[in-house]
Amino acid sequence: MSVIVFLLFVFLTTTTTGTVTASTLLPSCKAKCGDVDIPYPFGIGDGCYAKEYGDFRINCWGNSAAFLSDSVYEIVDISVTGELRIKGSTGFDCYDRSGERTYYFPSVNLSNLPFTFSHTRNKFVVIGCDTNAYIWDQYDTRYSGGCMSYCESLDSFKGMPNGSSCSGLGCCDVSIPRGIKSYITGITTYYSYKYSMDFNHCGFIFLAQQGQYTFSVSDLNSTRLELQTRPIVLDWSIGGQTCEEAKKNRTVPYACRSDNSECIESNNAVGYLCNCSKGYQGNPYLPRGCQDINECDRSPNVCPSNATCDNTRGGYDCKCQSGYRLNINFPGGCEGLGSGLLVLLSASAFTCWGCQRRKLADQRKKVAEFRQRTFEHNGGPLLQQYTSSHPGNTFRIFTEEDLAKATSGFADDQIIGRGGHGVVYLGRMEDDTLVAIKKSKMMDERESKEFAREMAILSQINHVNVVKILGCCVEVEVPMLVYEFVPGGTLFDVIHRRNERAPISLEVSLRIATEVADALAYLHSYASPPILHKDVKTSNILLDENYRAKISDFGASCFAPVDETEIATVVQGTCGYLDPEYLQTYQFSEKSDVYSFGVVLVELLTRRKPLHLQGPVDERGLAVSFVSLLSQGKLEKILDAQLLAEGDAERVREIGELAGRCLSVKGADRPSMKEVSMALHLLRSSDEHPWIPQHTPEEVERLLDREQATAYDSADVVNSYLCRKNHTILEIEAGR
């Protein structure tokens, strides 16, 4: 008898498994290619894939390797839940001791296929000791990113075990944004690995599934890393409609064809996906593709020991024999029924109701305690004391509910900007004032302790060319900042997207540059303590309706260090704007902001982006190209044709010379922002007095260091700049 029962069990188990497997395929279609299972809507050959929803065709080469459609992208595996993995290649940039260069920069283009790169499962990884790597959308300039990996010697890794995070020392990684369908990559170096040839002569890059690479110091001297392939995760979806739109569409049939399936929105692109309902498994894209899961067979212990498991469609029941009832808190699970059953049930119901009330009250108490802890941890009491002691100050402490209400619950359609330090939302306050709300990604312990003091100082900055901070929310783990909303977009958009708006003249460009210089000079010399921006670039310069410039995004900013030996652990900033001296010494100074401003000034003069990785190697860095042509007296070769056509060649040349001084390799050779501001005022055609700082008496009263102010002689600064400027011209004419 036991043998018969065993054979019957094997037959039923085999039948059930076979049904589930078959339900993921179309009849008469090939189920596998090599080791890769091919579930519908994917398929090999005409009639085997869902052509009406996109190109889900699989090319099975030699019956051993599966490729996406007619592409060269080999498939690792396919999931019916909306993911697919392909093999990705590793890029490299190598130099031998003679200076000979070999390189390969990988790229992938999925523009004509229903796939996007997963923004939650992939990382762009960079390995090397002098490696600046970039990744950007091949056909849409809305995305470009990357990071820099740096190390001076292998001694830098002493005490650090293999498997350390890729934080910038020898290895760095960054996430990619949502919805990217193609990318190209590139690598640049500052020293061509010649200073690290003994332990690192190659830089490596790859986009790969997160967790597929663990950094090892030995990889810095690898000669085989470029031969390795790692999987890239792709998200796929059906069509270009939402679930509701797809259900109403009469032209294209609804893809969720199984009776026990449900529609979910894609998390990475337009379109939707289908899932089997809870308690079912299989392929929701096929009729009867979702089959009931027999939980009783799959998990024998799903019910208590004295109860019997009864499988139902989409679920299961645990039943007790007659005269008993299920009680999971009773030994064995089945409890005998007595005469006091009604009283017991009533008491149980009352107890449960009381437990739920206490649980809800406990949850509310925990939320309130958490908010109070974070409020105190982030310096809320200090900010409250500050605002109450400064009645005229407009700085406000917001609650999380205030900002959630202003942004419709931080809805995606309220996002107006993304950066390395967080996401910016457009908010509408109760009085209809529009604000920009910055939700930062992270904050370390040191920053958290200093947050309240820094807010108190930043709230006093009231410069016309600095975005005004209106308040903050400190009852959340990472404080949120509230700024005034500037509606005119960024300087980057104005310079580099001229097909969308009229080009700006030399006069307007010079005025914008002057206003930015004024703001930086104010932060460097008038704020007490001085403030270093640390991420000056055209995308952090906002413009109002009248093209008035306002510096924004102080996410990377810091106060000028009192101890000049203070060294950063990780280089922060944007490639193309980074001070080369900062990259070598890890010491950021006000002259580092000057260098970044010099790049902005060159962008205004040339209308070119700071990095152009598709051009010749010696022309990829805008700053280097500009300084080289300036030193050769061939500035007109790089200047914008429109500015040259305006006919003010002498003034353009003087602006170019000022930019060249800002871009000096050594920080000591660069002018201060005060000197730059004065020089730009002198170059403008207006009648304003250049040596009068553009600040209100209230600003100076609050932030100006009085001893520094009395010692600050504007005429001396102007004369100092003019003398240095003339000296620079003599050096160029002498051929130095």
**Per-residue pLDDT band at 443 (split at 50, 70, 90):** low
| pLDDT over threshold 60, residue 725 | no
Taking CA 315 as the corner, what is the angle to CA 312 and CA 321, rounded to the nearest 5 degrees? 60
Instruction: Give pLDDT tens digits for 567-588.
Output: 554 567 788 898 988 888 878 8
**Per-residue pLDDT band at 510 (split at 50, 70, 90):** very high
Q: Out of 88-97, 260-269, 343-352, 723-732, which region has the weakest mean confidence (pLDDT)?
A: 723-732
Q: What is the pLDDT of residue 26?
A: 61
167-174: average pLDDT = 88
Cα–Cα distance measured from residue 291 to residue 10, given in angstroms and rounded to the nearest whole number: 19
685-714: average pLDDT = 39
47-55: average pLDDT = 90
Q: What is the pLDDT of residue 518?
A: 94
- CATH architecture assignment, domain 380-484: 2-Layer Sandwich (3.30)
**Per-residue pLDDT band at 191 (split at 50, 70, 90):** confident
Instruction: Give pLDDT tens digits for 274-320.
Output: 999 999 999 999 998 999 999 998 888 888 888 889 999 888 889 88
Instruction: Return the bridge partners of 621, or none.
Output: 611
This prediction has a pTM of 0.51
Region class of 586: left (phi > 0), else alpha (psi between -120 and 50), else beta: left
Q: How many helices (H) and strands (E) does the chain have?
A: 18, 35
In 342-377, which positions are buried (b, 16+ CB within 10 angstroms) versus exposed (e)? eeeeeeeeeeeeeeeeeeeeeeeeeeeeebeebbeb
Q: What DSSP character marks residue 466?
A: B
Q: What is the pLDDT of residue 537?
A: 92
Instruction: Give pLDDT tens digits for 360-379.
Output: 777 778 878 888 888 888 77
Kindly provide the residue ranges of all beta strands, DSSP E only, lying in 485-579, ordered along the sequence. Answer: 531-532, 541-543, 549-551, 558-559
Q: Out of 499-508, 528-537, 632-641, 710-719, which region has the weakest mean confidence (pLDDT)?
A: 710-719
Q: What is the pLDDT of residue 720?
A: 38
**Per-residue pLDDT band at 356 (split at 50, 70, 90):** confident
Angle between helices 673-683 and 714-733 (to 10 degrees): 80
Contacts of 114 (CB under 8 A, 6+ apart): 53, 54, 55, 56, 236, 237, 238, 271
Mean pLDDT, all residues of the chain = 79
Q: Which residue did the predictor score with more confidence, 493 or 194?
A: 493
Residue-range domain boundaries for the chain: 2-81+239-292, 96-229, 295-336, 380-484, 501-733
Q: What is the DSSP string of 216-237?
A: -GGGGG-SSGGG--EEEEEEE-
Angle between helices 445-458 and 380-389 (to 10 degrees): 10
Domains 295-336 and 380-484 share a fold: no
| pLDDT over threshold 90, residue 719 | no
Instruction: Give pLDDT tens digits for 654-666.
Output: 999 999 999 999 9
CB-CB neighbours of 645 under 10 Å: 9
Question: Is 535 designated active site?
Answer: yes
**Per-residue pLDDT band at 712 (split at 50, 70, 90):** very low
Contacts of 486 (CB under 8 A, 6+ apart): 436, 467, 542, 543, 544, 550, 552
CB-CB neighbours of 454 under 10 Å: 17
Cα–Cα distance measured from residue 190 to residue 582, given in angstroms and rounded to the nearest whole number: 12
| pLDDT over threshold 90, residue 154 | no
Q: Which residue did the predictor score with more confidence, 16 or 188?
A: 188
Instruction: Give pLDDT tens digits for 237-284.
Output: 998 889 999 998 888 889 999 999 999 998 876 789 999 999 999 999
| pLDDT over threshold 60, residue 86 | yes
Q: Which fold has domain 295-336?
A: Laminin (2.10.25)
Which is the catalytic residue, given 535, 553, 579, 640? 535
Domain 501-733 has CATH 1.10.510.10: yes
Region class of 490: left (phi > 0), else alpha (psi between -120 and 50), else beta: beta
Q: What is the pLDDT of residue 346?
A: 56
Locate 305 and state its tokens. Answer: 């020991």
32 in a known ligand binding site: no
**Per-residue pLDDT band at 223 (split at 50, 70, 90):** confident
In the β-sheet with 396-397, what is the strand arrangement from edge to edge? Answer: 396-397, 469-473, 480-484, 434-440, 422-428, 415-419
